[in-house]
Amino acid sequence: MTATPRCAMRSTPSVAFVRDSRAPTQTPSLQSTPLDWVDEASDESFPASDAPAWPASASLRTDPALELLMERSRAPAYPLSPFLTVLYGGEFGLPPRSLVANFVASVDGVVALGPEYPESGSAISGRNPGDRFVMGLLRAGADAVLIGAGTLRATPGHTWTAEAIYPAAAAEFRDLRRRLGRTDQPRLVVVTARGDIDVDHHGLRDGALILTTDSGAERLRGRVGPHVVLRSLGGDAQIRMQAVVDAVHSEGHEVVLTEGGPTLIGQLLAADLLDELFLTVSPTVFGRSPAAPREGLVEGVAFGPSKEVRLDLRSVRRQDAYLFLRYACTSRSLP
């Protein structure tokens, strides 16, 4: 466990769980449920596994659970352990072949404080345990984690695994991946045009896929470790996002999580490639000024009036003053 300040669980949240009628499974009501009540998993969506019984979790009574306020998810439910189900405040799953994003933003939409504060994600989230848990859960459910080189450069000590961000559920995350038939860890995929990345970055140590241009590949060739696959998608400048996503799928990765940053997500939205957005709204306001320009959720591309990106609210959860929003992305071109 890191020294993350954690909120003590004072009482079990009262959860009214409304599920989309098209979804295949029944969801247990968690209303007025004691925290240690759930003793069996509800799972009809995935084949029975020979995995052992759910791992015991010592943290069950100390971790804060998310309070479910609204749910209209259409994704299949993953076979979560009781611990994960309680922490998340209900069922969770991702669409079978999908690209989903996870970000934390302040109330005024700031996701990065600028180059002088590279690891500003922690400052924006306040290292909120609920945000770290959702990051872990999303990583646990993904085949691959896609990031831009800017995010890699900004977070030198980071690894994009579920247990690294939320160690208290490490055993449950591992178990979930086993039940889903996933590899031990999601594969890190880094996009870079210039090939300007630290080849000794901690996050690359256990293997990664680097998608780059011919010139980027030239710069990195012979320098990356044996577990890192270097793949050029041609050219010298920007790679088309469709080519990036096709390359990730062609490696056998179906469920792809992107953790940014704002340049990458802007292009994914512009190309209509993002299926869902998980957005943590942190109860902070950072503002902007010419001296402190700050980055928003999307950088480098602007939408409207000819193209609209619209978000359909799928679920709302809460922990203290933090909101956990899940959106489906839709967009349309206007005449």
Which residue, 68 or 147, is less far from ligand NAP as judged by CB? 147
Q: Which residues pair with 101 in a beta bridge?
A: 258, 277
Q: Which of residues 165-224 bind ligand NAP (CB under 6 A)?
A: 191-194, 196
Q: Which of 239, 255, 268, 274 binds ligand NAP (CB under 6 A)?
A: 239
Which residue, 68 or 149, is less far from ligand NAP as judged by CB? 149
Determine, following the binding rule CB under 6 A, whether residue 242 of this chain makes contact with ligand NAP: no
Per-residue burial over 52-86, b = 16 or more CB atoms within 10 Å of its CB, e = otherwise: eebeebeebeebbbbbbeebebebbbbbbbbbbbb
CA separation for the pair 105, 107 (Å, rounded)? 6
Which residue, 57 or 102, is less far from ligand NAP as judged by CB? 102
CA separation for the pair 125, 106 (Å, rounded)? 8
Determine, following the binding rule CB under 6 A, whether residue 85 of this chain makes contact with ligand NAP: no
Which residue, 65 or 147, is less far from ligand NAP as judged by CB? 147
Determine, following the binding rule CB under 6 A, whether residue 148 of this chain makes contact with ligand NAP: yes
Determine, following the binding rule CB under 6 A, whether residue 273 of this chain makes contact with ligand NAP: no
Determine, following the binding rule CB under 6 A, whether residue 324 of this chain makes contact with ligand NAP: no
Q: Which of 147, 217, 274, 325 binds ligand NAP (CB under 6 A)?
A: 147
CB-based contact 77:93 (threshold 8 Å):
yes
Q: Which of 151, 185, 232, 319 binds ligand NAP (CB under 6 A)?
A: 151
Determine, following the binding rule CB under 6 A, whether residue 232 of this chain makes contact with ligand NAP: no
Determine, following the binding rule CB under 6 A, whether residue 328 of this chain makes contact with ligand NAP: no
Q: Which of 264, 270, 281, 329 binds ligand NAP (CB under 6 A)?
A: 264
- When CB distances to ligand NAP are compared, the closest residue is 150
Which residue, 66 or 264, is less far from ligand NAP as judged by CB? 264
| Minimum gap (Å) between residue 171 Cβ and ligand NAP | 26
Q: Which of residues 88-127 bind ligand NAP (CB under 6 A)?
A: 103-104, 111-112, 118, 120-121, 124
CA separation for the pair 180, 45 (Å, rounded)? 10
Contact positions vs ligand NAP (CB under 6 A): 103-104, 111-112, 118, 120-121, 124, 147-151, 154-155, 191-194, 196, 238-239, 259-264, 267, 295, 299
